Structure 1
Amino acid sequence: MNIAPPMTAVNFEEIERISGSTLAGLVRKIDEERIYPEEVMRAYGEAGAYTSHLSGPASSVDLSQAILSMARAAEECMSTAFCVWCQDTLGWYIASSDNDYLKTHVLPKVAKGSSLGGTGMSNPMKAIGDIEPMKLKGVRVDGGYKVKGILPWVSNLLEDGYFGTMFHVDVDGEDKPKRVMTIIHAAWEGVKLRLDHDFVAMGGTATCNVQMRDVFVPDEFVLADPADAFVKKMRPGFVLMQCGMAAGIIKNCIELMEQVRGPLGHVNCFLEKQPEDIRADYDALLADIMNLAKTPYDTSNAYFKRVLEARLKGGELAVEAAHFAQLHCGARGYVSTGAAQRRLREAYFVAIVTPATKHLRKLISELEE
């Protein structure tokens, strides 16, 4: 049975209003005071930003509207765009699963933005790639699993929110544990959230350290058991949607360069990269992303490699665009209130968020072998 929220088109006029007015007025507070833009996140939900990609594998899913909505947020604020990605990805996990309980009781709230949440998959994705050990471990009990461990960073997470994650379970007679993927409700007994990070940017992302002490996870909240085939199905969308963050900040950095062309163009013309150069790369990247967005449930290695390459290009071009935006703006962009220095700090996040640049290159190399 395929239960999913009704497909709704994104109200891009409302996304534009929220981004250009409400969010733009909060950007400095988000960056300097680390406030979480809850009002904006819920407003995006009302505008349909989190719904367009949730009809499930049995239908023709296109990620383009979700990516473009995220990109518009990223033009103003990377912290908010990342939270949008977290919300989108939480819905993506549930919609991609066979779990009718979650599709009925949780997914509609996530799609509307009435329940906010994130993705606790940074550690599991690295564990799958043999980069670090799995942080959570589960034991089978009647009706579900008992899970314990600590996730250092889960973003877009409030006390009543949800997040997806994965844990290991030892199997009798097997050398390796199995992986189980699930949705966790932050309000469950044994779950403790602690805001605990000191990043140079991205402070307004409600990023928590999540401690789980023998938390009971009922079978109704399990996405996949075992999770290996499910991960292969959902990972292209997981990675590709991050390109929305890259696209938005690249576009804004081009605009920052163009804004100083009048007063500084006579000397900026000697810089190695001009706005036109970055725009040509941006246009090519966005066209590739929009093409890939049409078939997010393609599980072939060839498709996934193209997704990884687009995501890698997005991260690298974001850093390059922000670098040259800072050079073009000069000292006026290097003051504490300057947009260029903030965008440079934010751009590096695109390059290091899981899967980071080195992780992407590792995955691409393995697929090429």
Structure 2
Amino acid sequence: MLDVQSMNTGDAAALPGAEVVEAVRALSARELPSLVNRIDVDGYYPEDLMRAFGRLGAYAHHLPGKSPSVDLMTSINAMAAAGEHCLSTSFCMWCQDALAWYIYASDNEHLRTGIGPQIASGAVLGGTALSNPMKSLFGIEPMRLKGRRVAGGYVVKGLLPYVSNLGPDHYFGGIFEVEDGGTTRNVMAAIPCAAEGLSLADNAKFTALDGTRTFAVQMRDVMVPDNWVIADPVDDYIKRIRAGFILLQAGMAFGLIRDCLRLIEQCKSPLGHVNKYLDVQAEPLAEGLAAMEAEVARLAATPFESDRDYWRAVIEARLAAGDASVAAAHAAMLHCGARGYVAGATAQRRLREAYFVAIVTPATKQLRKMLADMAH
């Protein structure tokens, strides 16, 4: 069990980015190898570790106004350091990063000074319920949450099938549709799982990523007061946060691909004489990873850029991350052969995890649709 109380990191948000990444890497290397099969097979949620990463500063450097600069790469690289061992954990870190991103990119001072610092430090954990809205905003499916205006806020109802990194004391960022005088608009809010009328249901067991506390969220006339509102309406706000939302996901891909390269390297001595005949070798995968890391770093330097070509490049980078994750995990599986195909082997877990990078919102098919829409 991780002794989270014994860790004394001081003001974690003030630590230099490189130190944060190395601290997360060291903690991940110490804790995750013994937990990863439990996470994968039993659906264990590493809550203590998630909170410890927060105290190290893993969720703070990318936040507008929280750090001296908006440093997405520290958060991405911290996520990747954990992802070298476990994609479930790095995905939960992305959920936490995204929730903090929403709050600190908002004009709501109540949220920025209230739960904002607690989310940035990992004292409060939470997720992002933007899978449905991100699909809805790009014409793929209808908005699942509906709200109506009442005195002091909104009353919201609806069902979201999959929201991750949740628990009874967690929060999530959600968007609901409001009809007002014959027109509709979308409103975003930070919503506590403990809100009256809100329930969580564990309805599904996943092929991978089952240790991510992913629930169906049912809202039955939940009161959402004005001081929980992140943006109303969301149109301009979504354009402000969308690049950061997507670029932060690169950390999952980076960590997974690095571990796939490690698996391929491990096989060189016993199997190199036959693995050399496989079409995909480590060198081009490593070169592709380096190029992808450089492109994400370039884009992450200006996450609020509004230029159309910049947005297209963000979409292309995210598409490349999903494609490269699946390719690297597929190659690692073939290089490992039967030893990677047994229950508990890292290679077969990595292959299952890699598909998640390609299907989590925005999925490969949505990204391709977005690029096609931009061409018109």
| Aligned residue number for residue 233 of structure 1 | 240
Asked if 1:178 corresponds to 2:202, the answer is no
Determine the C-alpha separation between the residues in 2 that align with 1:251 and 1:122.
27
Mapping for residues 1-369 of structure 1, pairs under 5 Å: 8-10=15-17, 11-56=20-65, 60-174=69-183, 177-369=184-376
Once the two structures are overlaid, the 10-residue window that deviates more, 241-250 or 13-22, is 13-22
With over 3 angstroms needed to count, the CA separation of the structure-2 counterparts of 1:63 and 1:143, relative to structure 1, is same
CA contact (8 A) 2:21 2:81 kept: no
Task: Name the amino acid aligned to 1:18.
Answer: L
SS at 1:55 equivalent: coil
SS at 2:188 equivalent: strand
Determine the C-alpha separation between the residues in 1 that align with 2:316 and 2:138.
17
Determine the C-alpha separation between the residues in 1 that align with 2:339 and 2:255.
22
Determine the C-alpha separation between the residues in 2 that align with 1:9 and 1:140.
44
| RMSD over aligned Cα atoms | 1.4
Task: Name the amino acid aligned to 1:123.
Answer: N
SS at 1:72 equivalent: helix
CA contact (8 A) 1:57 1:96 kept: no
- Offset at 1:315? 0.3
Determine the C-alpha separation between the residues in 2 that align with 1:8 and 1:327.
41
SS at 2:84 equivalent: helix
The number of aligned residues is: 363
- Offset at 1:212? 0.4
TM-score by length of 1: 0.96
- Offset at 1:13? 3.0
- Offset at 1:9? 3.0
Runs (5+) with no aligned partner, structure 2: 1-11
Determine the C-alpha separation between the residues in 2 that align with 1:233 and 1:16.
30
Determine the C-alpha separation between the residues in 2 that align with 1:164 and 1:300.
26
Determine the C-alpha separation between the residues in 2 that align with 1:78 and 1:252.
10
Task: Name the amino acid aligned to 1:206.
Answer: R
With over 3 angstroms needed to count, the CA separation of the structure-2 counterparts of 1:81 and 1:226, relative to structure 1, is same
Determine the C-alpha separation between the residues in 1 that align with 2:189 and 2:106.
10
Deviations 1:177-218 (A, max 9, x none): 101011101111011011222110000000011110100000
Task: Name the amino acid aligned to 1:27.
Answer: V
- Offset at 1:304? 1.1
With over 3 angstroms needed to count, the CA separation of the structure-2 counterparts of 1:57 and 1:340, relative to structure 1, is same
CA contact (8 A) 1:9 1:48 kept: no
TM-score by length of 2: 0.94
Determine the C-alpha separation between the residues in 1 that align with 2:67 and 2:279.
48
Determine the C-alpha separation between the residues in 1 that align with 2:249 and 2:116.
20
Task: Name the amino acid aligned to 1:87.
Answer: Q
Determine the C-alpha separation between the residues in 2 that align with 1:6 and 1:253.
31
Determine the C-alpha separation between the residues in 1 that align with 2:318 and 2:255.
13
Deviations 1:28-63 (A, max 9, x none): 000011100101101100110000011349974121
Determine the C-alpha separation between the residues in 1 that align with 2:68 and 2:188.
23
Determine the C-alpha separation between the residues in 2 that align with 1:298 and 1:276.
33
Determine the C-alpha separation between the residues in 1 that align with 2:67 and 2:371.
28
SS at 1:87 equivalent: helix
CA contact (8 A) 1:62 1:295 kept: no
CA contact (8 A) 1:193 1:211 kept: yes
Determine the C-alpha separation between the residues in 1 that align with 2:218 and 2:252.
28
SS at 2:180 equivalent: coil
Deviations 1:273-324 (A, max 9, x none): 1101110111111111111111111122211111110110000000000000
Runs (5+) with no aligned partner, structure 1: none
Determine the C-alpha separation between the residues in 2 that align with 1:240 and 1:24.
27
SS at 1:170 equivalent: strand
With over 3 angstroms needed to count, the CA separation of the structure-2 counterparts of 1:58 and 1:26, relative to structure 1, is closer
Once the two structures are overlaid, the 10-residue window that deviates more, 35-44 or 294-303, is 294-303
Determine the C-alpha separation between the residues in 1 that align with 2:168 and 2:323.
35
